[in-house]
Chains A and B, each alone.
Chain A
Amino acid sequence: MAVNSELRTFKNAAWLGWQMEANWTDPFLFAIYSVVKPLAGTLILVFMYLVITHGETETMFFSYMYVGNAMYMFVADVLFGVTWVIHDDREHYMTLKQVYIAPIKFETYIFGRAAIKIAITSFGVLLTLLFGVFVLGVDIDLAAVNWPLLVVALILGLATLAIMGLALGGVTFLTAKHAMGINEGVAGIFYVLSGVIFPITILPGWAQSISKFLPVTYWMEGVRRGLEPGVITALGSTTGLQGFSDLQLLLVLVVTAVAFLFISLGIFRYADKVARRKGKIDWTSAY
């Protein structure tokens, strides 16, 4: 019974998330939007690279950077998506309180909304990777892909992101409309410190120490090893995580996912309690 209820909440939240993301326009325009947005973000980096290398993209580093940037869309969109749900529902549509007092687990509702974000972003990521491979010569050889590693790393990483999103969602309960700053900030920290577009070895020593505590760092490495093992081998010790075997990498991801589950739930529940005490569940802070 309880499981059915959770599944139903999850499913309905995902459905709502899809409506919010997609029903503002007709399917054709939505498709264009879904293509242009991820590509434009990626092309900024591509042009930055082209300026310096004078047009050369078929290099190991370019593939490293490109894949990392494509995968990073999950980080930004999931973290943004979860904090946005709370902000949007509370401040703009003023429906948060109705969902909140319903006999459902609010965390499940959040996960449902995050799930649809992941699904939509997957399309953008896939498109970006295809563009990279066929137009820019990014080195991804399907025959060489380590599918088990890729799939497991992907699932663990996405789960961890959704869980971290929950903690951020809790913090959003307590902050004013600058909620977007929170997701921008946390996503930005990962962007700089997790080896998304450059190896962590380029960072100062103290920053590298922080990088090694961030789950996204291991996730990036795991996904790259799965998707472009040749690139990672070629870059060797540059990535900074060469000392970890595939299994160790996955183990780190599992441990961090579990650790973040407890941390995030703790943060969320604490923030929830404080928000209820201070009457912030249904406040508005727009100006």
Chain B
Amino acid sequence: MTETWLLRNMRAVRGRAYPRIIGSTREPSWVFFDVVLPLLTVSAYAYIYKFMKAPEEFVGFVILGGAMTAFWLNILWSMASQLYWEKEIGNLSLYLMAPISRMSILAGMAVGGLFETTLRATSTLVIGIVVFGIALSLSSPVMLIVVFVVTMISLYGMGMMFASLYLLFGREAYHMSNLMTEPIYLASGFYFPVRTLGFWAAAGSSIIPITLGLDALRQLFYPASVAEYGFLPIGTETLILAVLCVVFIMLSKLSLDYMEKLGKTSGRLTLRWQ
């Protein structure tokens, strides 16, 4: 890997991020949808916990989970599935023909969408806290940043792996993304402590980085609830997430190469309307 290779791929990341960033300024209607609307689902779950007279931290759990859905949806719909639409539009063949890593294209999509995603997550968190009067106590800001960063890297690595499916499949992969939206909310404990699923189920779900990331974030914001609702110690969860970072980045490279080769062999790499 030469300096030229690095520069070329960094420029590719920049190039692909650009339409996302510009799009968000030229079509600003997303601000309303991404800021206000996610609160509605979060509010519904928060109210149901209130109706059931759940412990106060559960409303906080819901708000944190609601904020993290922004990243999960970004992975599924703005990165992985996006390749499906790029194929339909005809951009995919141009990307694949270019002398760059596929990961650069996906990284560009992720980086470009980061602003919208972060705004959505932050607004859900802040407005949720204000509306429901949640009290969060952050035990360690440094740990928060570490957990967040490793969660995001491993999550986006996993997203790149999903994206590779689209090199071979068409609507099947799209429907798989559809299928994974809510089951992952369930399996990863977006709206309830994942520990409730039982140890082995929660352990299985931990392969999805957001499971442990969310659990660790909840423990950081609600240190008093660790004993009753935390799944694993924060240190352990952070370590696992760091390992997942490496694993998913490597797997995504292998998966992208393999799927591309399969797609080229079968002739489905650029086949539209599959």
Contacts and interface: CB of A to CB of B under 8 A. Distances in A.
Contact of B40 (A24, A40, A189): A189
Interface stretch (A9-17, A110-118, A197-205, A216-224): A197-205
B37 A37 contact: no
B223 interface: no
Interface of A: 24-25, 29, 33, 36-37, 40-41, 43-45, 47-53, 61, 65, 91-93, 175-178, 180-182, 184-185, 188-189, 191-192, 196-199, 202-203, 284-287
A192 B43 contact: yes
Interface string B215-236: 0000000000000000000000
Contact of A48 (B22, B43, B50, B192): B192
Contacts of B193: 51
Contacts of A196: 44
A47 B29 CA distance: 35
Contact of A192 (B29, B47, B54, B182): B47
A93 B171 CA distance: 12
Contacts of A52: 49, 52-54, 58
B185 A44 contact: yes
Interface stretch (B137-145, B172-180, B249-257): B172-180
Contact size range, B: 35 or more
**Which 8 A-B residue pairs are closest in the complex by CB-CB distance?**
A181-B33, A188-B40, A287-B23, A24-B171, A185-B37, A40-B183, A176-B27, A287-B19
A93 B186 contact: no
A192 B9 CA distance: 45
B33 A178 contact: yes
A176 B58 contact: no
A264 B5 CA distance: 55
B45 interface: yes
Interface string B126-138: 0000000000000
B170 interface: yes
A185 B33 contact: yes
Contact of A24 (B50, B170, B191): B170
B258 to A, nearest CB: 21
A171 B231 CA distance: 44
Interface in B157-216: 170-172, 174-175, 178-179, 182-183, 185-186, 190-193, 196-197
B186 A43 contact: yes
Given A37-B178, A48-B45, A52-B49, A286 B34 contact: no
Nearest to A287: B23
B134 to A, nearest CB: 17
B85 interface: yes
A192 B41 CA distance: 7
29 contacts: A24-B170, A25-B172, A33-B175, A37-B178, A40-B183, A40-B185, A41-B182, A43-B186, A48-B49, A48-B191, A51-B54, A61-B51, A65-B48, A92-B85, A92-B88, A93-B273, A176-B23, A176-B29, A181-B32, A184-B38, A188-B37, A188-B44, A191-B41, A197-B44, A197-B48, A198-B44, A198-B47, A203-B47, A287-B23
